[in-house]
Amino acid sequence: MEVVRIIKEKSKKYRDYTAENLSQIVRIPSLSGDEEKVIKRIKVKLEEAGFDNVHVDGLGNLIGRIGNGKKILAIDAHIDTVDTGDLNRWEFEPFSGSIKNGMVLGRGSVDQKGGAASMITAGRILKEIGYNGNFSIYFTFTIMEEDCEGLCWKHLIENEKLIPHFVVSTEPTNLGVYRGQRGRMEIELNFKGVSAHGSAPERGDNAIYKASETVLKIEKLNEKLRSDDFLGKGTAAATLITSESPSLCAIPDRCMLYIDRRLTWGETRESALKEVKDIAGKDVTVDVPVYNNKSYKGIPVSQDKHFPVWKIPENHPLIRVGVSTCELLFGEIPVVGKWAFSTNGVVICGIYNIPTIGFGPGNEKYAHAPNERIPVDHLEKASAFYALLPHVMEGI
């Protein structure tokens, strides 16, 4: 395919362009709910690259389109990041965006502005080679994923009516092709007790003791949760416990316990809640919390904190074209794997059953970690992948 040679040449030609674009957007802090400045910067980049249409939707997601085909392919990157954590753990300034020794350094470089920078370059390449294939390619630069994954795509699908036939997530895959992830949910338990003076604990009913007994049962529950050959084992872990009492000299009458629950294939919101309710005892409520916030545009958002498990079959046509694209560009078969963490796929594929794969630059071990960094080589290769994929997908 002549187009393979051309795309490889152009992605190499624009190698420094891609790295510099990433450097620029890393230098703009963009925690969830505070993405406006980086959205504006990327919007200018898309316009300069000649995208057919560029706009910001009602929530605050940025969308760039190339092509006018009847089928829709979406390529997604969330552009919000987590915070820096302990600055003493960093060897460099987290928002420096420095380019050193073949790496772009800084918070968000892997998770996942690297994917966004490669998408900009891919769009530029597609415009320059005059792509006019079967797909309308929507490059989505989405918000608030770190706070509530999938919420941005819930808005795109339900409010903006953007319903792709296929989606590529550019979350880091170390240049592998990923086809799923475990689900995630948060479970909040609120225990009730009876307060009494701390000098006579027998007069009260200690809510901390009730919660503590449940913590030990959660530990045992974790050991026997089901497993999936591909996605691995479901897990349950106590991550937070707080209590309330009239004073530090009083028996607490309320205690809250928070559970992080990872769902493997076959586990659901209902099954996970039932398991916890069965071991929690009496005088306790068990609920899935609801995320409530506003986007940077001031739009109120709300979503249940249950993020479904999802995967697509290894022989799915989208997997096959992803693997073929890698073979054509890089001369080798990629690892077909899964993410350890959660992505926007929980809504795209987990709720709406839209076939989704992952292909992203960078190693996920750097996600949320100090000294986050990404190889420029990966940015170049990811740019080529996103530009070639629609051509390989023509017969899908």
Q: What is the residue type of 376?
A: V
Give the single-character DSSP code of 297. T
Q: How far apart are CA 134 and CA 67, in angstroms?
A: 8
Q: Ramachandran region of residue 362, left (φ > 0), alpha (ψ -120 to 50) or beta?
A: left
270 as an active site residue: the answer is no
Spatial distance between the Cα atoms of 162 and 284, rounded to a whole number of angstroms: 41
> ω before 112 within 30° of 0 (cis)?
yes
The secondary structure of residue 111, as a DSSP letter, is: I
Tokens of 207: 């809510």
Q: Are 10 and 128 in contact (CB under 8 A)?
A: yes
Active-site choice (80, 275, 364, 380): 80
Q: Alpha-carbon distance 183 to 65, whole Å? A: 30
| Catalytic-residue membership of 76 | no
Taking a C-beta distance cutoff of 8 angstroms, is the pair 237, 218 a contact?
yes
Catalytic residue among 35, 145, 364, 372: 145
Residues 6+ apart with CB under 8 A from 282: none
CA distance 261 to 234: 8
Q: Which residues are catalytic?
A: 80, 145
